[in-house]
């Protein structure tokens, strides 16, 4: 068929590819001009002022001045690695996604991160961890952008700026650990009690992982999968580390923060370099795609809720192995950009209002972070599937497009066979019924329960895990100035468990309030305890 005229690359149009790697016998400018001196600027005499006409000086300094790009607004601190994913072939009953086929090997790039700290912050702080995976599949790039905690702070993405503002340092001093920042964080989570479940996970040992290699990962939201016959299921994604789930103690985390702030980054890179390639199994929890989108009374569209593994076992569907460290942190770990809309045929989104906002936010943020709309062309983000889009020009454009104007239908472009619906290999949205309704900002009644699953988590912990949780709440709340905030958070704890509340209240020297909602009768879920472990390491 010859080169594709619509999205021709430089090679296809005869323009030589640019070799921008720093090598060769001679030092040159960016335009390839050979230089004879890069150590001395051009001056009016040996002791004279520097001349504006020194184009090499100006290019060298100008480029240096612009070496930094904005750090991510959240998850700025991270470490990445390359690897591969191999499907087991058993997921075809749920999804037609090709990369899950038996023995299909797909290259991946994974970026682990903390959420709140800046690019140079310490690794071992108490925080949620990001676990974002880019699968370069033959059907297009699939981004699974998850965390090491299976639930989120908020039920609706419209609150994301609020929760992040409440947790980030204050504008005046920019001190991340300032008491004022503790006040605003605890103020937010005690007012928005939907955040209590995620916060309890943060106060548990999950908030201070031993290593990225010993973290679970969760897609958090429920996704909708479609099989080859068009049948749909609701699905939650899980990553299970082969090394098991392990954490630091709080004392270890604090010491390491001072002694080796790069502890997790170093641990990941050293392990990969030594050939101890970390592995995770990808697992699915699968639920029937019912009209109410509930499973055993749990609202699958509420991202502050999980589904206990005892009632929906995680089924392993493939294995991820990280085998190669990045060669250039900026080009790979910094420039990698994820997008929830990077989906493949067989995997679709649901109406979870947090997921819906994320579908907008990630692309939007790349426009400033990566300088324009062409960030998917950066080497680390380039799809491994052929690209034939109608997107043109813009900042950072790398393709040299030829042919006629990109629009469809089009009878002048050499007969492109594009007809909507004709391509069976194409992504097609799952055609689910949307309930007849009126516009509203109301939420379903099922979103009102903020405490049952937090209570279940607490009751599932072993005594030593409970001890750590009490110590973490006591330490963190003791950093608040505002008595009213501490008291309101104690009230939230009373609504989770009287014993938890009483122990933290004692530590703070405050009276323990009584619960204001009935304490639900929930069964512990052993898989939530990392001492029991949810999947045994082999
Ligand atoms: C970045 C996870 C909710 C906006 C990230 C990253 C992860 C992540 C892992 C780091 C990606 C990387 O390594 O480059 C999650 C999870 C969420 C969640 C699991 C909830 C289930 C949200 C929401 C919003 C949001 C609700 C906004 C409405 C962002 C932004 C970035 C980010 C703007 C920076 C992206 C970049 O600059 O590349 N998130 N996030 N996130 N997240 Fe989220």
Instruction: Render 368-398 in DSSP notation, one character per residue.
Output: HHTTSTTGGGSGGG--SS---------TT--
Q: Rounded mean pLDDT of the chain? A: 93
Any idea what DSSP says for residue 514? P
Lowest-pLDDT range of 173-187, 245-259, 326-340: 173-187
Q: Is the pLDDT of residue 13 over 90?
A: no
Query: Does residue 112 sit in helix, strand or coil?
Result: strand
CA of 432 to the centre of ligand 1 (A): 26
Reply yes or no: is the peptide bond before residue 228 cis, omega within 30 of 0.
Answer: no
* Residue 504 near residue 458 (C-beta atoms within 8 A): no
Give the largest Cα separation in the chain, rounded: 86
- Rounded to 5 degrees, φ, ψ at 49 are -70, 155
CB-based contact 213:271 (threshold 8 Å): yes
φ, ψ (nearest 5 deg) of residue 109: -130, 130
- For residue 81, what are the β-bridge partners? 110
Residue 365 CB–ligand 1 contact under 6 Å: yes
Name the pairing type of β-strands 294-295 and 298-299.
Answer: antiparallel
* Total residues found in the chain within this entry: 538
| pLDDT computed for residue 533 by the predictor | 53
212 lines ligand 1 (CB under 6 A): no
Q: Enumerate the β-bridge partners of residue 287.
A: 234
Nearest CA among 341, 403, 423 for reference residue 4? 403
Residue identified by tokens 């933290």 is 504
Residue 495 Cα, ligand 1 centroid: separation in angstroms?
A: 29
Residue 263 is predicted with a pLDDT of 98
For the chain, the first-to-last Cα distance in angstroms comes to: 50
Over the stretch 139-196, which tens digit does the pLDDT of each residue have? 999 999 999 999 999 999 999 999 999 999 988 888 877 767 789 999 999 999 999 9
Residue 147 annotated among the catalytic residues of the structure? yes
Give me the interface pTM, i.e. the ipTM: 0.94
Confidence bin at 15 (pLDDT 50/70/90): low
pLDDT in tens, 476-491: 999 999 999 999 999 9
Q: With the CA atoms of 506, 509, 514 and 517 taken in that order, what torsion angle do they form, in degrees rounded to the nearest 10?
A: -80
Determine which residue's CA is closest to atom 23 belonging to ligand 1.
Answer: 358
* Residue in this structure with the two tokens 């109608």, named with its chain if needed: 390
- Does any ligand 1 atom lie closer than 6 A to the CB of residue 513? no
Question: Over the stretch 424-453, which tens digit does the pLDDT of each residue have?
Answer: 789 998 888 887 789 999 999 999 999 999
**For 234, what's the count of Cα atoms within 13 Å in the CB-facing half-sphere?**
23
DSSP letters of 384-441? SS---------TT------SS---SS-SSSS-----TT--TTS-----PPPPP-----
Alpha carbon distance 29, 421 (integer Å):
50
Return the closest-CA partner of residue 114 out of 255, 258, 269, 257.
257
Tokens of 314: 């995680």
Q: How confident is the model at residue 422 (pLDDT cuts 50, 70, 90)?
A: low
The two structure tokens encoding residue 208: 């201070």
Q: How far is CA 2 from CA 5, 129, 514, in A?
A: 8, 46, 75
Kindly give the distance from the C-alpha atom of residue 301 to the centroid of ligand 1, in angstroms, as a whole number: 18
Cα four-point dihedral sign 267, 268, 270, 272: positive
Tell me if 358 CB under 6 Å of ligand 1: yes
Residue of 147, 202, 325, 374 marked active site: 147
Contact (CB, 8 A) for 181 and 483: no
Task: In whole angstroms, give the CA distance from residue 207 to residue 449.
Answer: 23
Least confident of 37-51, 217-231, 407-421: 407-421
- For residue 105, list its beta bridge partners: 86
Q: Ligand 1 mean position to 74 CA, how many Å?
A: 7
């Amino acid at each position: 068929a010859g080169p594709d005229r619509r999205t021709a690359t430089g090679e296809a149009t005869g323009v030589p590819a640019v070799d921008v790697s720093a090598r060769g016998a001679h030092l040159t400018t960016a335009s390839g001009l050979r230089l004879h001196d890069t150590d001395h600027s051009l001056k009016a005499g040996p002791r004279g002022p520097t001349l504006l006409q020194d184009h090499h000086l100006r290019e060298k300094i100008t480029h240096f001045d612009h070496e930094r790009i904005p750090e991510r607004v959240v998850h700025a601190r991270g470490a990445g690695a390359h690897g591969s994913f191999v499907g087991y072939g058993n997921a075809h009953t749920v999804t037609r996604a090709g990369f899950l086929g038996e023995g299909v090997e797909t290259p991946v790039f994974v970026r682990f991160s903390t959420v709140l700290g800046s690019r140079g912050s310490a690794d071992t702080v108490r925080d949620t961890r990001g676990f974002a995976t880019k699968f370069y599949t033959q059907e297009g790039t699939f981004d699974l952008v998850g965390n090491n905690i299976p639930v989120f702070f908020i039920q609706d993405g419209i609150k994301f700026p609020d929760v992040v503002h409440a947790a980030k340092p204050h504008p005046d001093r920019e001190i991340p650990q300032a008491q004022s920042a503790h006040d605003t964080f605890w103020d937010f989570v005690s007012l928005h009690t939907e955040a209590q479940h995620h916060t309890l996970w943060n106060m548990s040992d999950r908030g201070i992982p031993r290593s990225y290699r010993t973290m679970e990962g969760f897609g958090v939201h429920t996704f909708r999968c479609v099989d080859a016959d068009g049948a749909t299921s609701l699905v939650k994604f899980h990553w299970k580390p082969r090394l098991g789930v392990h954490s630091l103690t709080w004392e270890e985390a604090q010491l390491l923060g001072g002694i080796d702030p790069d502890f997790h980054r170093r641990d990941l890179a050293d392990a990969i370099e030594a050939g101890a390639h970390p592995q995770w199994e990808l697992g699915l929890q699968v639920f029937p795609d019912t009209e109410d989108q509930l499973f055993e009374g749990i609202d699958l569209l509420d991202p502050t809720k999980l589904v206990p593994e005892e009632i929906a076992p995680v089924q392993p569907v493939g294995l991820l192995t990280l085998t190669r460290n990045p060669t250039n942190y900026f080009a790979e770990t910094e420039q990698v950009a994820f997008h929830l809309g990077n989906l493949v045929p067989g995997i679709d989104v649901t109406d979870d209002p947090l997921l819906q906002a994320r579908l907008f936010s990630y692309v939007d943020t790349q426009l400033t972070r990566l300088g324009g709309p062409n960030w998917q062309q950066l080497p680390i983000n380039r799809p491994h599937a052929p690209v034939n889009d109608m997107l043109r020009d813009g900042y950072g454009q790398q393709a040299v497009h030829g042919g006629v104007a990109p629009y469809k239908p089009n009878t002048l472009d050499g007969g492109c066979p594009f007809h909507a619906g004709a391509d069976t290999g194409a992504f097609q949205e799952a055609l689910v019924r949307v309930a007849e309704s009126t516009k509203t900002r109301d939420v379903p009644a099922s979103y009102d329960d903020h405490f049952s699953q937090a209570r279940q988590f607490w009751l599932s912990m072993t005594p030593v895990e409970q001890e750590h949780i009490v110590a973490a709440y006591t330490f963190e709340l003791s950093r608040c100035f505002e008595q009213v905030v501490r008291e309101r958070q104690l009230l939230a704890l009373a609504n989770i468990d009287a014993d938890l509340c009483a122990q933290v209240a004692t530590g703070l020297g405050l009276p323990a309030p009584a619960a204001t909602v009935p304490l639900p009768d929930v069964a512990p879920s052993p898989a939530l305890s990392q001492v029991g472990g949810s999947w045994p390491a082999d």
